[in-house]
Amino acid sequence: MFAPETGRFLLPTLLLLLVLSALVAVGSLPHSYIFLVILAIGFSFWAFFASFYRDPRRTPGRGIVSPADGRVLEIERADDRVRIAVFMGLSDVHINRFPVSGRVEAIDDSGEGYRPAYLPDARHNVQRRYTLSTDLGKVEVVQMTGLVAKRIISFVGVGDAREKGERLGMIVLGSRVDLVLPADRVRVSVEVGDRVRAGESSLARERS
């Protein structure tokens, strides 16, 4: 399965490459070294983007789940909030998901610049913040751009309600996603360096 709206160009592109390959095989197109190299490059690019836009099925895990695939980059507690940052590499699934069930109260764009997403200063990059109304109170999911990733895509709008693990959006070509939670309502269950999967891996549990 591919990310929403991407199958419309991935599938036709694959069909075109297969047709060209068949025409070369039967001799209708020149069987030249240059043409074969072009086809090989075409299939390589297709395989890269097919991997990048993959959208595997996920079964929601326990507690408050990760909004992104990747590695836990930072855990910061400040005032009454706790922020967990997840860094997404090029090989990670780039679909971002709802960490808990809730309704989108606001979507705000802010920030400037495209610093490498693994640097502390990246929290000031161009970003999109989703404020969610949940049973825990206000929860925020922040999609941040990076040095290469400069396009943020939303699958939801203000007023939309979604269940935990459902798709929220994606960032094209990596970067990071921050999850901001009310510190008095949760207990963090991961450490910096842990690998997590969107919609499945628990980042925190609600305090009893």
Regarding whether 132 and 43 lie in a shared domain, the answer is no
Domain extent, residue 156, equals: 64-206
Say which residue, 116 or 1, is predicted with more confidence. 116
Give the separation between CA 70 and CA 66, rounded to whole angstroms.
9
Whether 1 maps to a domain, the answer reads no
DSSP code for 52: H
CATH number reported for the structural domain that contains residue 86 in this entry: 2.70.70.10
Instruction: Give the number of domains in the chain.
Output: 2
pLDDT in the model for residue 114: 84
Regarding whether 80 and 144 lie in a shared domain, the answer is yes
- pLDDT-derived band at 9, boundaries 50, 70, 90: low
Regarding whether 177 and 82 lie in a shared domain, the answer is yes
List of residues 6+ apart from 144 with CB closer than 8 A: 111, 117, 122, 123, 125, 126, 127, 171, 175, 176, 177, 178
Whether 59 maps to a domain, the answer reads no
Regarding whether 77 and 47 lie in a shared domain, the answer is no
Owner of token pair 């997404």 = 88
Whether 90 maps to a domain, the answer reads yes
pLDDT in the model for residue 62: 93
Give catalytic residues, as residue numbers.
175
Choose the weakest-confidence range: 24-28, 80-84, 99-103, 137-141.
24-28
pLDDT in the model for residue 162: 97
59-117: per-residue pLDDT in tens?
999 999 999 999 999 999 988 999 999 998 877 888 899 999 999 999 999 998 888 87
pTM for this predicted structure? 0.79
Regarding whether 108 and 187 lie in a shared domain, the answer is yes
Q: Where are the beta strands (DSSP E) in the chain?
A: 64-65, 70-78, 81-88, 95-97, 102-110, 127-134, 137-144, 151-154, 161-162, 167-172, 175-182, 186-188, 195-196, 202-206
Whether 83 maps to a domain, the answer reads yes
Regarding whether 130 and 106 lie in a shared domain, the answer is yes
Regarding whether 192 and 139 lie in a shared domain, the answer is yes
With a cut of 90, say whether residue 181 has pLDDT above it: yes
Regarding whether 82 and 134 lie in a shared domain, the answer is yes
Give the separation between CA 107 and CA 112, rounded to whole angstroms.
17
- pLDDT-derived band at 121, boundaries 50, 70, 90: confident
